[in-house]
Amino acid sequence: MTITQPDLSVFQTLESEVRSYCRGWPTVFDRARGSRMYDEDGHEYLDFFAGAGSLNYGHNNPVLKRALLDYLERDGVTHGLDMSTTAKRTFLQTFQDLVLRPRDLPYKVMFPGPTGTNAVESALKLARKVKGREAIVSFTNAFHGMSLGSLAVTGNAFKRAGAGIPLVHGTPMPFDNYFDGQVPDFLWFERLLEDQGSGLNKPAAVIVETVQGEGGINAARPEWLRALADLCERQDMLLIVDDIQMGCGRTGAFFSFEEAGITPDIVTVSKSISGYGLPMSLCLFKPELDIWEPGEHNGTFRGNNPAFVTATAALETYWADGSAMEKQTRARGEQVEQALISITEENLADVKEYRGRGLVWGLEFHDKSRAERIARRAFELGLLIETSGPESEVVKLLPALTITPEELDEGLSVLARAVRETV
């Protein structure tokens, strides 16, 4: 693909140096539909990024777009704080009927601010309020958001350093297979909990991602998650599952913890819950934990009604028969896995590991700088992929769940070429 030099001057001179994704993809995007984006010069890109998991149903999904346009054209409420609206009522009823009841999940639904880190902050605050304790346990290579409470339970040293103050009341523990199978699960964690001389304050809760996305696509085994849930119950700690990136069908089932057969006390959901890329997040928790006082945790933008509309349309379109969506995602995931096996066999000396679940996959190389070179070359070839891991050492694949097998093959072929051309 021949790329002409785009006019990036206003971004470079006026926008903050904090910008990041645009540095890896130096063009000006103008349109998007399904799994494809187009820049202002008409160049086409296949999207294996999906808004960092916010666009599970693709860009400008026509069913969701129609519902949104109809709502706006009739002057439906756009901003309503936490007022009762028809859009919110319809979403809540649909979410209960299509998601919670079929899974026998008893959760109350809280609308915090519209971002993922807002949901995490509300979950941490609620856990501390319920248990009357301040310590939270998280895991190595975790990522839970960029606000201070979320950063305190995030592992990445670079992101933590940006806080500028000590990040306290959080204690990291080893994630699944952190010691390459040499140490029994939770040996260190449980010993600290039971030893009166360990210095570990009794935690209010444990927060975990079933698949660590930003941490390098590290997938926890179902048996590890079950053991963690059992440990939390025995030690009187709440279990919080952060499903912000891996929920809404990304791993196959609607919630990523379903495969493990556990019922977390609290679940955070964001990104693709709106279905359309509109800001929206949920904090779900068991009814007995709902001890909030009215207005005790609030925010101006906790009632994004257009997002309720697209979220409802997404649930009705893709989750009325959730088994069909799950089956399709798993089939697409097998397609990705076969391609990564081929890439690994072709580059046996260079590939360290491929790993993933559903439609989230990572490809790690022994040379930790290789992933960024591959992502850069993929962009030049018309494919949008990002990197993850503490040193950006993993090529991360996060295509839309609605991507076609043909589009998936096309993108995987580009990825294979990018790998070959960056040796």
Q: What pLDDT, in 10s, does the model give residues 321-369?
A: 989 999 999 999 999 999 999 999 998 889 999 999 999 999 999 999 9
Q: What is residue 1's predicted lDDT score, i.e. its pLDDT? A: 46
Res 246 pLDDT > 80:
yes
Q: Left (φ > 0), alpha (ψ -120 to 50) or beta: where does 201 sit?
A: beta
Tokens 């339970």 found at? 153
> Which amino acid is located at 299 in the chain?
G
| Distance from C-alpha of 392 to C-alpha of 131, rounded to nearest angstrom | 37
| Sheet with 205-208, side-by-side order of all strands | 108-110, 282-285, 266-269, 238-242, 205-208, 136-139, 170-173
Here the tokens at position 353 are 């590991």
Q: What is residue 4's predicted lDDT score, i.e. its pLDDT? A: 66
Beta strands in 177-281 (DSSP E): 205-208, 211-212, 218-219, 238-242, 266-269
Give mean pLDDT, residues 297-305: 92
| Distance from C-alpha of 339 to C-alpha of 358, rounded to nearest angstrom | 14
Q: What is residue 322's predicted lDDT score, i.e. its pLDDT? A: 80
> Which amino acid is located at 404 in the chain?
T
- In 10 A of CB 167, how many CB atoms? 16
Give mean pLDDT, residues 116-137: 98
Here the tokens at position 337 are 């896995």
The pLDDT tens digits for 19-63 are: 999 899 999 999 999 999 999 999 999 999 999 999 999 999 999
Q: Between 322-346 and 405-420, two packed helices, what is the crossing angle to 10 degrees?
A: 20
Q: What is residue 181's predicted lDDT score, i.e. its pLDDT? A: 85
The pLDDT tens digits for 56-91 are: 999 999 999 999 999 999 999 999 999 999 999 999
Tokens 């992101």 found at? 159
Rg, C-alpha atoms of the chain: 21
Give mean pLDDT, residues 377-406: 97
Res 119 pLDDT > 50:
yes
- In 10 A of CB 120, how many CB atoms? 29
3-state secondary structure of 239: strand
**DSSP state letter for 366:** S
Among 55, 89, 25, smallest CA distance to 386 is for 25
pTM listed for this prediction: 0.96
| Distance from C-alpha of 99 to C-alpha of 315, rounded to nearest angstrom | 8
Q: Name the average pLDDT for the chain.
A: 96
Res 2 pLDDT > 60:
no
The pLDDT tens digits for 197-223 are: 998 999 999 999 999 999 999 999 999
> Which amino acid is located at 405 in the chain?
P
Confidence of residue 248 (pLDDT cuts 50, 70, 90): very high
Give mean pLDDT, residues 192-200: 91
Positive or negative, the Cα torsion across 412, 418, 421, 423?
A: negative
- Cα–Cα separations (whole angstroms), residue 263 to 188, 232, 259: 24, 12, 11
Among 47, 120, 161, 49, smallest CA distance to 283 is for 120
| Distance from C-alpha of 14 to C-alpha of 1, rounded to nearest angstrom | 29
Do residues 415 and 383 lie in contact, with contact meaning Cβ atoms separated by under 8 Å?
yes
Give mean pLDDT, residues 275-295: 97
Q: What is residue 183's predicted lDDT score, i.e. its pLDDT? A: 87
| Distance from C-alpha of 46 to C-alpha of 399, rounded to nearest angstrom | 9
Give mean pLDDT, residues 240-259: 98
Q: What is residue 180's predicted lDDT score, i.e. its pLDDT? A: 87
Here the tokens at position 328 are 């399709």
Pairing of the two strands 205-208 and 211-212: unpaired
| Distance from C-alpha of 378 to C-alpha of 347, rounded to nearest angstrom | 17
- Cα–Cα separations (whole angstroms), residue 319 to 223, 301, 334, 336: 27, 26, 21, 23
Pairing of the two strands 386-388 and 238-242: unpaired
